Structure 1
Amino acid sequence: TSAREQLSEEKTALLATQQDLENQLSSLEQDRIALQATRASLQTEVAGLIAARQQLTEEKSELAQELAGATLERKQLSGEKAALSDELAGVTAESTIQQEQLAESEGLREQLALDLTDLNSALMSLQAEQSRLIMAYETQAQDQAAVTNARDALLQERDVLADQINALEVTRGSLRVEVSALREEMSGLVRSTVSTERALEESQLVGEELTARLAETALEYKLTKEELAYLRAQYTDEVAAFAKERELLAATHKEELDILRERHSDLESKYNRLVRPARSAVGRFVVEVRFWKEGDLRRYSLRPEAGVENSVGESELHQELTTLKARYGDKLYTKVMPDDNSLTHGEAWRFTNKILNRYDYYYQN
C-alpha cells in the first residue's frame, strides 16, 4: 500500500512535470516564431543596408567627379578674378567720369524740377478752367431744361388762355352793357350828391342867418343874459340839427358811392382783363397773404412759396410785401386769402383790392 501511494505521488509529480514541460514547449514555440519574425526583419534591414552602401558608393564616385570639376572651376575663377581686377580699374576710372556727368545731370534735374513746377501750376490753372467750363456747361444745360419746361408750360397756358379768351369774349358784351349802366348810375348818384351838398350849404347859410338874427335880436331888445343864453342854445340846437342832418346825408351818400365805386372798380377790372392775358402764377414768385379777425383784433400772416407761414402785424405785412416787390418786381404773385367766416364781404374785398393794387404784378400796369 505504501508503494502504491508512493507511485501515485510520483505519477502526480510526473504529470505536473509533464504540464510544466508542455508549457515550456509552448513558450519556446512562441519564442521561435518571434525569432523567425525578427530574422526576417533583420534580413530586410541587411538588404536595405546593402542597397544603401551601393548608393553611397555611387555618390562617392559622383562627389569625386564634382571635386575634380570644382578644382577646374577654381582655376577658371582665379583667371576670371584677375580679369575682373583689370576691369575694376577701368570701371573706377569710368565711375569718376560718370560722377562728373552726374553732377551735370543734377543741375539739369533741378532745372527740370523748376520747369515741372511751372508746368504743374499751368496744369492746375487749366484744370480749374476746365472745371469752371464744366460747371458753366451744366448750368447752361439746367437753364436750357428750365427754359424747355417753361416753354411747355407756356404752351399749355396759351391753350388754356385761348379757351378762357373765347369764353370771356362771350361775356364781354354783357359786361360792357353793365359797365355803361353802372356809369350812368354813378353819374346820377354824383348829381344827387352835388344836390345834397348844395342843400347842406343852404342849411349852413340858414344857420348863419339865424345866428346873425340872434345877434340883431339881442341888440334890439337888450335881452338879459339868461334870455340870450336861452336863445343861443335854441338856435345852436337848430344849427347842430342842420349839421347832423348834413352829416347823415353825406354819410348815406358816401356809403352808396363807396359801394358803387367798389362795383364799378370790380367790373372795370374784369372788363380790362378781357383784353389782357389771364393772371397766372407760372414762372412767378408766389406769396400767400392771409387776413382774419379775432374779435376786434386784425390778424395777418405771410407764407412765401414753399416756405413757413409767419404771423405779422399790419405794418410788418406791408414792409415784407414792399421788400418782396422790390426784389421780384413784375414776378411777384400775391395770393390773397381773406377769412370769409370772420370778415364781412366789404372788409375782405377792400383788403384784397388793396394788396393786389399795391403789390401784385398783374395790377401794376
Structure 2
Amino acid sequence: LLASEKASLGEQLVSVSGEKQQLSEDKAALAETSAEQQQQLLALARLREALATDLTRVQGALLALQAQQADLTTAYQTQAQEKGSLSQARDALALQVTSLEVTRGSLRTEISALREEMGGLLRVAVSTERALEESKLVGEDLSTRLAATALDYKLTKEELAYLRAEYAEEAAEFEKQRGLLVTAHKKELDILRERHSTLETQYNRLVRPARSTVGRHVVEVRFWKEGSARRYSLRQPGEAAARPVSELELHQQLGVLKAQYTDKLYTKTIPDDHSLTHGEAWSFTSHIHNRYDYYYQN
C-alpha cells in the first residue's frame, strides 16, 4: 500500500513538477509579452506625442493659411479699388489730353492769325515808309519849286521869308505826324511781338518739354546801351565775372560754343530794361535764342 501511495505521490510530484515547469515557461512568456507590450505602449506614447506635435504644426499652418487667405482677400480688394482709381485717373487724363489737343489747336489758329496780323502790320509799315519817302520827295519838290518861284518872280525878302516860314510850319507838322505814326506802329509791333512770344511760349509748353538748364552749358549774354553805343558781355560757367565783347566777338564766340556743345548750349540772355526799349530787348533775345540756343534749333 505504501509503495503504491509512494508511486502515486511520485507520479503527482512529476505531474506537479511538469506543471511548475509549464507555469515557469508561461510566466517567462507572459513576462516577455509584457515587455513587448511595454515597448509598444512606449512607442504608442511617442507616436501620440509626435501626432500631437504634427497636429499642432498643422493647426499653426492652417491658421497661417487662413491669415494668408485673409491678406490675399484684402490685397485683392485693394487692387480692385486701385484698379477703379486708375480707371478714373485714366479717364481724367484722357479728358485732359482731349482738352490740351483742343487748346493746342486754338493756339495754333491764334498764332497763325497773329502772324498774318503781324505780316499785315509790317506791310502797312512798309507802305507808310514808302508814303513818307514820297512825301519827302514832294517836300523836296516843293522846295525846288519854291526856289524856282523865288527866282522867277524875284520875290522880296519879306515874301520869301513868309513862304519859308509857312512851308516850315507845314514841314514841322508833317514831321510831327510822321513821328507819331512811326511811334504808333512801333508800339503796335511791340504789342504783337509780346503776344506772339507769349503764345509761342504757351504752345511750346503744350507740345514740347520745358526749356531747362539741367545738363546744359549755360552762357550768360548781356546787352545794354550807353547813349547810342551798343554794349555786350559774355560769361561762361566757371568765370567769376562777365567779359566785355564787341558784337562781332559775341557772335564769333557763340558760334564756336554752338559748334562745340550743339544741343547742350543754353543762352541766358539778360537785356537791360533801363537803357533798351521793349522792342530792342525782345529783338535781341529772339535773335540770340533762334541762332544759338538748343531749345529753338528744332
TM-score calculated relative to the size of structure 2: 0.49
Answer 1 or 2: higher relative contact order, Cα 8 Å, separation at least 6: 2
TM-score calculated relative to the size of structure 1: 0.42
Larger Rg over CA atoms: 1
